[in-house]
């Protein structure tokens, strides 16, 4: 009740997961083999991606983002150790972390259809799928998804490129420019006056009524989850290239903004498989929409939503404006997630301006929630207890902190200017 009162008061807080690291019966039925299978599939599709999306040519059709050290931001935040930005905000095609899971799920569905209809094998060059006759084949099928914004962009742009009919169901808090961008790709956007959960529910009902429609289920999809998890293997290679150790003496801390939970959950799952107890993952949620914290802390998972405790679920962080978490992700995170922090909206804009000023990098406000991680880990009593309990306190000067930037590169310049001039009254 004390925690729920703090959430109701919109207090910024640190929740440390009491089940972290404990041995429990495996409920998720996932393994590293599944992640490797997803990575192999993305590799097979690379020639097709390169052909459809010229911006991936330099990376030969691999959708990946840079890892860059942000020294000035680290000085500004006065943290121990080194601070890096994982720039999923600049992933090609969709400009957000959703380019990982969203595009992967569309590709997996495409491969399944191609295999079932006998015009593709694993040994062939997948670039052939860009031919007109295959686009015409895929045009008889529909892909649908419910989204607050970035997942819709990811699913919409990728599906339209393959040839599918696409319908994106968007909640009231989705930004207009995202709707406009989707429509420019020939995507049908259905708008709802209610929140994210209602958009997903309606999208699912409409899709289920059409035998040739495929619904991307952000709340329960293992394919989305595995697409996000591939990020961990890629990150490990990037750290090695920079000669950065991750071991008992050099801990890794990762901070990821969280909405319904799929992207941060998938990334965390992969990281824990890669680095085990040497990586410590934290989600960051807005004070008005702390759905994953509420679900995990109460043990109710997706059987409770923030509106049940009197919160609105409305936030400037449109990608995080989710009232009810993914129960699937919550269960997988039960012993893997170190904790969850909350942040008030006005700080998102302050971090956004600071990053632009110190590093000349623009992120959308929701992505800037990640910067609260390195601050809270060193300032809050609960976080300090976590560091002491896991023998990390004396190792913080050798730690690496990664703020996972979830979106921003597709934001139009005029919208960036509006964001940069958005201030809140104290």
Give per-residue pLDDT as tens, 25-59.
555 678 999 999 999 999 999 999 999 999 999 99
Contact 61, 48 (CB under 8 A): yes
% of the chain residues with pLDDT over 90: 88
The CA distance from 158 to 152, in Å, is 10
Give the model's pLDDT for residue 75: 87
User: How many Å apart are CA 317 and CA 314, to the nearest integer?
Assistant: 8
Tell me what the mean pLDDT of segment 296-317 comes to: 95
pTM of this structure: 0.96
Pairwise CA distance, residues 324 & 195, whole Å: 10
Secondary element (H or E) of residue 241: helix 222-241
The dihedral sign for the CA sequence 163, 164, 165, 171: negative
18 contact partners, CB below 8 Å, separation of at least 6? none
The span from the CA of 412 to the CA of 253, in Å, is: 31
Whole-number pLDDT of residue 29: 78
The DSSP symbol for 187 reads: -
Residue predicted with more confidence, 85 or 198? 85
Query: Which residues, 6+ apart, have CB-to-CB distance to 220 below 8 Å?
Result: 326, 327, 328
Q: 10 to each of 14, 276, 285, 289, 293, how far by Cα in Å?
A: 12, 33, 11, 9, 13
Q: What is the DSSP string of 104-138?
A: HHHHHHHHHHHHHTTS--TTS-GGGGGSHHHHHHH
Q: What is the mean pLDDT of the chain?
A: 94
> For residues 318 and 199, is the Cβ–Cβ distance under 8 A?
no
**pLDDT at 28 (0 to 100):** 60
DSSP state of 148: S
Q: Would the pLDDT of 286 be above 70?
A: yes
Alpha helices in 9-149 (DSSP H): 32-52, 71-77, 98-116, 132-138
Say whether pLDDT at 384 is over 80: yes
- Model confidence pLDDT, tens digit, residues 183-227: 999 999 999 888 788 888 999 999 999 999 999 998 889 999 999
Q: How far is CA 250 from CA 247, 284, 387, 396, in A?
A: 5, 23, 13, 8
Candidates 48, 138, 148; CA nearest to 93 is 48
244-285: pLDDT as tens digits? 999 999 999 999 999 999 999 999 999 999 999 999 999 999
Q: Is the pLDDT of residue 5 over 60?
A: yes
Q: State pLDDT tens for residues 139-194.
A: 999 999 998 889 999 999 999 999 999 999 998 778 899 999 999 999 999 998 88
Across 81-107, average pLDDT: 96
Cα torsion 253, 391, 14, 17: sign: positive
For the chain, helix, strand, coil in percent to 5 are 50, 15, 35
CA distance readout (Å), 318 to 184, 260, 286, 323, 416: 21, 12, 10, 12, 14
Give Cα separations from 331 to 25, 271, 328 (angstroms).
11, 17, 5
- What is the Cα–Cα distance from 410 to 55, expressed in whole angstroms? 13
Tell me the mean pLDDT in the region 332-349.
Answer: 97
Q: What is the pLDDT of residues 54-81, one digit of tens each?
A: 999 999 999 999 999 999 999 877 788 9
């Amino acid at each position: 009740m004390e925690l729920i009162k703090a959430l109701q008061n919109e207090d910024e807080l640190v929740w440390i997961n009491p089940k972290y690291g404990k041995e429990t019966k495996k409920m998720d039925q996932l393994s590293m083999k599944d992640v490797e299978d997803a990575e192999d599939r993305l590799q097979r599709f690379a020639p097709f991606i390169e052909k459809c999306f010229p911006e991936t040519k330099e990376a030969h059709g691999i959708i990946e983002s840079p890892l860059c050290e942000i020294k000035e931001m680290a000085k500004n935040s006065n943290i121990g150790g080194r601070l890096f930005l994982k720039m999923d905000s600049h992933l090609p095609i969709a400009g957000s972390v959703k380019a990982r899971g969203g595009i992967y799920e569309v590709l997996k569905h495409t491969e399944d259809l191609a295999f079932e209809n006998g015009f593709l094998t694993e040994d062939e060059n997948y670039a052939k799928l860009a031919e007109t006759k295959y686009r015409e084949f895929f045009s008889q099928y529909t892909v649908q998804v419910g989204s607050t914004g970035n997942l819709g962009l990811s699913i919409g742009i990728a599906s339209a490129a393959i040839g599918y009919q696409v319908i994106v169901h968007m909640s009231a808090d989705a930004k207009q420019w995202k709707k406009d961008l989707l429509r420019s790709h020939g995507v049908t956007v259905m708008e709802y006056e209610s929140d994210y959960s209602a958009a997903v529910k309606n999208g699912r009902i409409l899709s289920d009524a059409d035998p040739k429609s495929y619904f991307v289920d952000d709340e329960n999809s293992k394919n989305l989850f595995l697409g996000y998890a591939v990020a961990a293997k890629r990150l490990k290679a990037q750290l090695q290239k920079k000669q950065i150790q991750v071991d008992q003496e050099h801990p890794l801390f990762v901070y990821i903004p969280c909405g319904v939970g799929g992207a941060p959950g998938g990334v965390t799952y992969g990281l824990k498989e890669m680095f085990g107890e040497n990586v410590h993952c934290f989600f960051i949620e807005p004070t008005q929409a702390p759905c994953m914290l509420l679900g995990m802390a109460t043990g109710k998972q997706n059987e409770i939503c923030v509106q049940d405790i009197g919160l609105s679920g409305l936030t400037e962080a449109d990608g995080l404006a989710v009232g009810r978490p993914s129960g699937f992700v919550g269960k997988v995170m039960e012993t893997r997630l170190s904790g969850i922090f909350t942040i008030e909206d006005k700080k998102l804009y302050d971090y956004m301006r600071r990053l632009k000023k110190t590093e000349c990098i623009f992120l959308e406000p929701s992505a800037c929630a990640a910067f609260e991680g390195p601050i809270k880990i060193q300032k809050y009593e609960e976080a300090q207890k976590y560091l002491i309990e896991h023998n990390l306190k004396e190792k913080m000067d050798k730690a690496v902190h990664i703020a996972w930037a979830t979106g921003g590169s597709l934001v139009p310049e005029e919208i960036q200017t509006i964001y940069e001039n958005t201030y809140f009254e104290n």
